[in-house]
Structure 1
Amino acid sequence: MKIDRRQWLAGGAALATTLAAAPLMARGTPKRPIGLQLYTVRELFAPDPIGTLEKVAAIGYREVEYGGGGYDKMDHAALRKAMDRLDLVSPSIHVGYDAMAADLGAVVRMAKTLGADTVVLPWLTPEMRDPQVFKRAIGDFNRWAGQFKEAGLGFAYHNHDFEFTVKAEGRSLFDMLVADADPALVGIELDLFWAIAAGEDPKALIARLPGRIYAYHVKDRTADGKMASVGAGTIDFADIFTLNAQAGVKHLYVENDQAPAPYLPDIKASFDHLRRIGA
């Protein structure tokens, strides 16, 4: 095809305009907010919740997930006011099994005051890990999730390693959860560290759970199995995150249950690494 000078000039001008605008378009593309599970900084949060939120926000975190540090006994309206001032949001909160069983209405009120859209069950005591007990608990999950839905909230279950390692007749607790929990009501907060610690392939899990993963908990794992800040271990998060759309994941929460004091350098290192890999 023959191109005359006028077409060439017009095309060049258009290309120049596109190239000039590219950095602006890149800067204008919003990145996914990175969240922090506040259990990571519980020793700071318990005595100084507002000051801790300020430090977390200053690092660049835009989302927090409440868990530990005695947050459930604090002034939730005051926490919400501080979050609003700091441009923080709390999409989800961790609430124990006993608290949900005792007063689900109180959990709903707390979640809504903090601005959460989802309540996450973070832990089960050892006696609840018996397969028969766990199977009955899944019935509670479905029932509570239905009640949360009526209140405008979601529900999710957070794994550790035991869900994969405790089995009955070759079937793990996680298998039971996936099969028996209502997929329309019960989401999964997938802790990538604990899944890998249990010998699972996280990408295979994600492929098994399309659209069911509410959030990831993100902490790294050293070669000898210890917890570490993101980027200081062996987990290839960039590779895992290529499946985010398939997973349906809405949030990434940095967590390090064993973050070393003074805690803030650890969560900053995780935040910076996630930004470097484009999370």
Structure 2
Amino acid sequence: MKKLALLLFSLCLGFAASAQEVGIIMGTARDYMRTGDVESTLIRLKNLGITKLEGAGSRNMPREEYKALLDKYGFDVVCGGTSFEQLQSEEAIEKIIENLKFFEAEYAVCYWIPHNGDDFTFEDIKKGVEVFNKAGKQFAEAGISFLYHAHGYEFRVYPGPGTMYDYMLEHLDPRYCNIEMDVFWMRNPGQNPAELMRKYPGRFPITHLKDRMIGSVDNLNGRQDPQRNVVLGEGDVNIAEVMKAARETGVKYHFIEDESSRTGVQLPMHLAFLRGLDLDRQALDYSVERFHKALVDADSVTLSYLTAEELTYGHSSGAIENKSIFKEALLSGKSDFSRIDFSKPDIHIKGDVAWVRGNMDADLVGNNGSTSNVKLKILYVWVKEKESGYWKLLARQAVR
């Protein structure tokens, strides 16, 4: 019976995460590690449905012995940390690469850019960009992806557009460096983590999931009382919206991090909250909404992003277009929507395929500028890409 319950729990958690894997950064297991028994800790984590870990090594045993236990219980090390100082030495990076490959990890992560107290300057961010791009290239050549974990002090203004965080994202080469988004530390300086994901889609392959106690005071110093880490869904980060945005923008892994003294008690509660989210439906619903907005706005970038290369787009007249003809007709004005209302869509999801039915009430603009109303019944077929987790429109058919 216990095995059946564990299987059902794992299946439910897998459904909630789907293309996004949910694990923990190993510091979150510190309450379970107080006895020093690594094996019993791993068994406990496995019984919670956790198999993905951040942290390439154990302080309690040689790495060969630790790796053998990870393999025995089916754990995968996804990433491991490095320091800013190590990133400035090719020899140090080679040692990090060797260790990450030993653990079969995909990512290396730097968690801090050194600076003087609370005085984080534009020179500091420029230095960070330079170091990360150079080190990231060395990691990339070895088959390891490199990430920077921001802590919120990067959102200061500088003599340029936006904040230093914007400068950083614009100047980090995405081939060599992307971001591990800690959603707590993005909320702490007053930012909206979900909006950041949507502003820079594809730049955040990994998150740290943690929630911040309601009433916490924002600051730009990358600091907060660790006791303000609360159960996911109970704070002011809006974890449900974060998970929805993550599904839309290609996040691959989520690692729960809890820095409070209650981590042992809160970890099962974090997992229970995530298990209850219907993320696939939320992400698909949002993708349909964005698709219709892109039709009205003639937004070529979004239309490309939301449609599969094999798109077959059927009109109520019987005409069928492929992706290039569909986009050309819309962008040239041959097909010009000024308003679309798609009411009460009926969404069904089966694995990586979904179909959406609904009634469309739309206004079309003719060549002479006149507007005509059309009412259509629409069937959409969407597919979820395995590589990115994005929902993309594969087929559409309209009838009057």
TM-score category, normalised to shorter length: 0.7 to 0.9
Equivalent position amino acid for 2:134 in 1: R
Structure 1 distance, partners of 2:257, 2:85, is 23
* TM-score, normalised relative to structure 2: 0.57
For residue 231 of structure 2, the aligned residue among 205, 229, 232 is 229
Structure 1 distance, partners of 2:178, 2:85, is 19
> In the TM superposition, what is the alpha-carbon distance from 1:73 to its structure 2 partner?
8.5
* Contact preservation (8 Å) 1:76, 1:110: no
Structure 1 distance, partners of 2:233, 2:128, is 36
Equivalent position amino acid for 1:49 in 2: V
**Is 1:80 equivalent to 2:71 in the alignment?**
no
* Contact preservation (8 Å) 2:58, 2:66: no
Other-structure match for 1:269:
269
Equivalent position amino acid for 1:190 in 2: M
Deviations 1:67-100 (A, max 9, x none): 7xx8479522222221111111111112221233
More strand by share: 2
Instruction: Supply the RMSD in Å over aligned alpha carbons.
Output: 2.5
Other-structure match for 1:7:
none
Other-structure match for 2:318:
none
**Is 1:108 equivalent to 2:94 in the alignment?**
no
- Residues 43 and 265 of structure 1, relative CA distance in 2, 3 Å threshold: closer
Secondary structure (helix, strand or coil) at the match of 1:213 reads: coil
* Contact preservation (8 Å) 1:80, 1:115: no
**Aligned runs of 1:1-279 on 2, under 5 Å?**
31=18, 32-42=20-30, 44-45=32-33, 47-66=36-55, 71=58, 75-102=62-89, 103-127=92-116, 129-164=120-155, 166-169=156-159, 171-225=162-216, 226-260=228-262, 263-278=263-278
> In the TM superposition, what is the alpha-carbon distance from 1:137 to its structure 2 partner?
2.2
* Contact preservation (8 Å) 1:35, 1:64: yes
Other-structure match for 1:15:
none
* Contact preservation (8 Å) 2:192, 2:237: no
Unaligned runs of 5+ in 1: 1-25
Unaligned runs of 5+ in 2: 1-10, 217-227, 280-400
More helix by share: 1
* TM-score, normalised relative to structure 1: 0.80
Structure 2 distance, partners of 1:81, 1:210, is 37
Identity across aligned pairs (percent)? Answer: 23
Secondary structure (helix, strand or coil) at the match of 1:97 reads: coil
Structure 2 distance, partners of 1:163, 1:53, is 35
Between 1 and 2, higher relative CO (CA 8 Å, sep ≥ 6) is seen in 1
